[in-house]
Amino acid sequence: MPVCEACGCLSLCPKMLQHFNVHVCANCAATCDEYKLISKGTAKSKYMVTDNDLKRLGFIRKANPHKQQWADMMLYLTSQVAAIAESKHGNVREAQHNRMEEKIKSRLGKRTALEREGEEEGRDPHAPKLLNPGQERVRKRILSEYGEQQRQQQQQEAIESGGCAETEEI
């Protein structure tokens, strides 16, 4: 007679047995980390497995909680996903670290390529991104209004101090 793998209980969870072929009671399935369920998207990103890897595993299909019209969620047993990732990558944490380093190098490579491109065009590589023509007109208008305010303020200060109001081009 089959018993729960975790606690030895005689009452097994039929869903876990049917979909994952795991002998576990409903209480252990809800509380033990080994029997937690994980969505397909989370499994793919966290454990770096592919759709082909997941095809070999059993899953539970549930209605999407975010929107009923979206595709059903596919929930996998975390321990089974971790086992496949371990056999595929060896150490999962090390593989995640290597993947993160590759992403960082890729992004830095793209950034330096954009900086080189900007230098070739004569732009300061550390300057903010180029503005579209509408944004550039607004920027120039603001700068000219600011410059006009600064000039008027200098003239007012010169008049108040009793000196000659010399205008300076800004």
What mean pLDDT comes out for the span 40-58?
Answer: 88
**More confident position, 25 or 146:** 25
DSSP secondary structure letters along 22-81? ----HHHHHH-GGG-EEEHHHHHHHH---HHHHHTS--EEE--SS-TTSPPEEEEEHHHH
Q: Specify the pLDDT at position 168.
A: 47
pLDDT band, very low/low/confident/very high, at 130 (cuts 50, 70, 90):
low
State residue 129 phi and psi, 5-degree precision: -60, 155
**Which residue, 90, 83, 39, is CA-closest to 60?**
39
pLDDT over 80 at 18, yes or no: yes
Q: Rounded to whole angstroms, how far apart are CA atoms 83 and 133?
A: 55
What mean pLDDT comes out for the span 27-54?
Answer: 88
Supply the pTM of this predicted model. Answer: 0.56
Kind of pairing between the strands at 73-77 and 60-62: antiparallel
Total residues belonging to the chain: 170
Q: Specify the pLDDT at position 170.
A: 45
Percent of the chain predicted with pLDDT > 90: 6
**More confident position, 144 or 54:** 54
Cβ atoms of 23 and 57 within 8 Å: the answer is no
Task: For 60-111, write each residue's pLDDT tens digit.
Answer: 888 888 888 888 889 999 889 988 888 887 777 777 777 777 777 777 776 6
**More confident position, 59 or 95:** 59
Q: Specify the pLDDT at position 117.
A: 63
Buried b (16+ CB within 10 A) or exposed e, 93-107: eebbeeeeeeeeeee
